[in-house]
């Protein structure tokens, strides 16, 4: 089954404790992206990757890091989480070279930073 898998789905952590949210897709997609969703603000892009070893900032990259060492994985790293990073996070992927334009989303990771 084609899917984007995020882990963990739910996480409560404390300020400053480094965490990683993993994202994996099994569709051989070149393009992967991270979004955060906050009430009243819609989805805002954090980082995206056009292919392995190619990453770029989205609209709200501050406080986040990413890496793309393998095509299927695109982890989101919060080196020193702060309460303003409490949010619902989504990973998404797309076949950019084929460019159907459709994004496939994971089920989301709800993060609370105390």
Least spacing, CB of residue 80 vs other proteins, in Å: 26
In angstroms, the CA 36 to CA 91 distance is: 9
Size of the site for other proteins (CB under 8 A): 27
Residue 5 vs 79, nearer CB to other proteins? 5
| CA separation for the pair 11, 33 (Å, rounded) | 20
Q: How many CB atoms are closer than 10 A to CB 80?
A: 12
Residues that bind other proteins (CB under 8 A): 4, 33, 35, 40-45, 48, 50, 56, 58-59, 88, 90, 92, 100-108, 110
């Amino acid at each position: 089954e084609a899917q984007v898998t995020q882990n963990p789905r739910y996480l409560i952590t404390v300020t400053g404790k480094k965490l990683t949210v993993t994202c994996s897709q099994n569709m051989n997609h070149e393009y992967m992206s991270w979004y955060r969703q906050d009430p009243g603000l819609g989805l805002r892009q954090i980082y995206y990757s056009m292919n392995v070893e190619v990453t770029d900032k989205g609209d709200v990259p501050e406080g986040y890091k990413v890496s793309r060492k393998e095509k299927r994985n695109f982890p989101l790293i919060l080196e020193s989480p702060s309460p303003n990073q409490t949010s619902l996070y989504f990973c998404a992927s797309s076949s950019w070279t084929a460019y159907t334009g459709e994004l496939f989303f994971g089920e989301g990771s709800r993060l609370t930073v105390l």
